[in-house]
Amino acid sequence: MLLLDTTFLVGAERRGLSPDDVIGDDDDVAIAAVTVAELLVGVRLASGRRRATRQAYVGDITATLPVIPYDAAVAIEHAELLEAVRREGRPRGAHDLLIAATARATDRIVVTADTTAFAGLPGVMARGQ
């Protein structure tokens, strides 16, 4: 079970790959709700043809993949991860922690272009692509 993070999806989009190009038929893949927000920011910051292309890509992603909401189970995992990184003194990106919490709550592996963002987080497995 996989959770695609934003860096992975942006990288795929830049290479001109569709969701079907990056997802195997047997893969159980989803995205976190915060990933939708991050992708939509990219749409809103773009202009002209690039904006239309990005909007279509985000539409394909959200139509193809389940979006896991930030619910009570994710919130519990999020709190535990926030505690862990604060105790370690190694701050992490807020959105990365939300993605990590979503992965923990749903027992998924984060697929990312930036494995360092998830390295050392307790109970979080990440793999690069």
DSSP string, 27-50: --EEEEHHHHHHHHHHHHH--HHH
> What is the structure's pLDDT at 22?
75
Fold of 2-128: Rossmann fold (3.40.50)
> What is the structure's pLDDT at 18?
75
Q: Is the distance from CB of 30 to CB of 108 less than 8 angstroms?
A: yes
Could you give the angle at the alpha carbon of 54 between the alpha carbons of 49 and 57, nearest 5°?
130
> What is the structure's pLDDT at 71?
98
> What is the structure's pLDDT at 117?
94
Torsion of CA 96, 27, 59, 63, to 10 degrees: -120
Provide the residue-wise pLDDT of the chain in tens; the chain has 129 residues.
Answer: 999 999 999 998 888 887 777 777 788 999 999 999 999 999 999 999 999 999 999 999 999 899 999 999 999 999 999 999 999 998 899 999 999 999 999 999 999 999 999 999 999 999 987
